[in-house]
Amino acid sequence: MAGRFTRTVEDFVCDHCGREVEGDGYTDHCPACLWSKHVDVNPGDRESECGGRMKPVRVIKGRTGASIEYECMKCGIEKKVKAAQRDYSSALLDELA
């Protein structure tokens, strides 16, 4: 089912900056550098075989918060996710600049 969300609580080490990230079940990117990893087909399912690094290409400020647009450096897929409250504001601001 497209778009179905699966809450997966797991910690990870960011493949881009090396930061240890504590997952809360909604964590899908590093709060320090905003990079992610292409591991899901649908949010949280961990069914993607790609495994490529997802580069944050744009931060969009909306009325209810910010969204981060990603591009996979391996397969080229583009995805958009909500920015988390714990994302470092300097990383978001750097992307907005």
> Tens of pLDDT along 18-75?
999 998 888 889 999 999 999 999 888 889 999 999 999 998 888 888 899 999 999 9
Residue 39, sorted as left (phi over 0), alpha (psi -120 to 50) or beta, turns out to be: alpha
The pLDDT of 4-28, averaged and rounded, is: 90
Residue 28, sorted as left (phi over 0), alpha (psi -120 to 50) or beta, turns out to be: alpha
Q: Please check the confidence at residue 5 and state whether its pLDDT lies above 60.
A: yes
pTM over 0.85: no
